[in-house]
Structure 1
Amino acid sequence: MQAALFDTFGTVVDWRRGIAREVATLFERHGVTDLDPFAMADAWRARYAPSMAEVRAGRRPFVPLDLLHRENLEAALSLCGVDPAIFPSEELDALNLAWHRLDPWPDAIEGLTRIKARLIVAPLSNGNLRLLLDMAKRAGLPWDAIMGAELVRAYKPDPEAYLGSARLLDLDPSEIVMVAAHNDDLAAARTCGMRTAFVLRPHEHGPGQNTDLAPEQDWDFVAADLCDLAAQLGA
């Protein structure tokens, strides 16, 4: 193997707590008391896959994830019974950038740094380039490069997201291990010829999580966290 590419939201960073924290600040500022910030974070995230599906199906041209997130923010507020119009547009714009400011899981920096000593490390994320750069700068994520959807104009699990990233690194997919906390991401990567590593994140969706609590295929690696994965990779 020459490279490890990482799903980012949920695998490397804790999106739910980071988003809920910034939602709570906005709600407090405007006196919104009848909607739990974690419920709003979950509702916002629930719009993630359907909005990308519209792009993958060709019903709209490729647009960066920041734009989808901004559209999804207003839709999620409305679905939760909160009128987006009560918030100034510039404050919603600022909240949308919360996705750029997510905290890493406690093991992420050490694990990535150790793996980086042996392999090229980069995100293979649906996040756009500026989002991933801002996240890395703030959190100290030690990427060698930024890969993902915006560069290849394809959202995971479209095969081009994986194959295009391999081409940009001038690597055969078999020389890459895809690292994710999501079985469906790994299944798509495996179909494209990549090796696979499942990292358990049992609290990504909060205390009631009922998905991705165990590997669903015989992935090449199964790890408790990124430090455990580093050890399995000999780093």
Structure 2
Amino acid sequence: MSLPAVKALTFDVFGTVVDWRTSIARELRAALEPAGHEFDWLQLADEWRGGYQPALEQVRSGARPWVTLDVLHHENLVELLAKHDIAELSESEIEELSHAWWRLDPWPDAVEGLSRLKQRFIIATLSNGNIALMVNLAKHGALPWDAILGAEISHSYKEQPITYLGSAEALGLRPDECAMVAAHNDDLVAAGALGFRTMYVNRPAEHGPGQTTDIRALHDFDIAATSLTDLARQLEC
């Protein structure tokens, strides 16, 4: 498919590029099982992730000042540990575990797909993840970004318009010269309303076998792809 005006692809990362659920389950197990704890580790990962949107909304609504996603992940982890009466981790161990989000594995198609897309387009994150998180995640998974954009450069969180517009502006591009790539319908709708082109990537396993949302494209996006390599194929990369 030809989209001649598009110069940059901006990517949602959690769920679209990396598999947060099984990665976080692995990290929780490695940290807690040696101390004798037994959980459904995937369910525990879901619980930690469950605090994500409520924490973002506190910032989006103005109920609290801007803080990075690393801070929110740390706070949500402390609450999760208290909920399950896990008290033996030291502050440094909690800090290290909170950085589990820096060590998420890419989906199997991600590195190849991004590398192919990079040959023709600028590729950049447009994520709620802060810069330190995104840089460490890129190093962990060999993700070949040209730029780390998104929430921290505008001190806002998706789906606030400035999060998208600030990333386009940072690249010196108009919104219509950028495409949002995401596995989440709401993210694409928000970007599309601001003039971004929209590219859906299907990730029906993001939340496990019981996933009921974002299992397909629900809107008339510019492209609907089954993977990042399929997206590269459709864009003739």
Smaller-chain TM-score bracket = over 0.9
Q: Indicate the residue corresponding to 1:45 in structure 2.
A: 49
Deviation at 1:189, TM superposition (A): 0.4
Q: How many angstroms apart in 2 are the aligned matches of 1:85 and 1:54? A: 27
Deviation at 1:78, TM superposition (A): 3.5
Please identify runs of 4+ aligned residues in structure 1 that moved more than 6 A.
none
Task: Output one character per residue of 1:135-160: Cα deviation in whole Å (capped at 9) or x when no partner.
Answer: 11121101011111011111001001
Deviation at 1:75, TM superposition (A): 1.7
CA contact (8 A) 1:11 1:201 kept: yes
Match of 2:226 among 204, 224, 230: 224
Partner of 2:18, secondary structure, is coil
Letter in structure 2 aligned against 1:199: V
> Are 1:12 and 2:17 matched, yes or no?
yes
Query: Aligned pairs, how many?
Result: 232
Letter in structure 1 aligned against 2:110: A
CA contact (8 A) 1:74 1:84 kept: no
Q: Indicate the residue corresponding to 1:75 in structure 2.
A: 79
Q: How many angstroms apart in 1 are the aligned matches of 2:85 and 2:165? A: 41
Q: How many angstroms apart in 2 are the aligned matches of 1:4 and 1:204? A: 21
Letter in structure 1 aligned against 2:198: T
Q: How many angstroms apart in 2 are the aligned matches of 1:92 and 1:37? A: 17
Task: Say what the alpha-carbon RMSD is for the aligned residues.
Answer: 0.9
Q: Indicate the residue corresponding to 1:31 in structure 2.
A: 36
Q: Indicate the residue corresponding to 1:21 in structure 2.
A: 26
Q: Which runs of 5+ in 1 are unaligned?
A: none
Correspondence 1:175-186 to 2 at 5 A: 175-186=177-188
Q: Indicate the residue corresponding to 1:61 in structure 2.
A: 65
Correspondence 1:71-220 to 2 at 5 A: 71-79=75-83, 82-220=84-222
Q: How many angstroms apart in 2 are the aligned matches of 1:13 and 1:216? A: 22
Q: Indicate the residue corresponding to 2:3 in structure 1.
A: none
The two structures have a TM-score, normalised by structure 2, of: 0.96
> Are 1:3 and 2:8 matched, yes or no?
yes
Q: % of aligned pairs identical?
A: 53
Q: How many angstroms apart in 1 are the aligned matches of 2:132 and 2:207? A: 25
Q: How many angstroms apart in 2 are the aligned matches of 1:188 and 1:129? A: 22
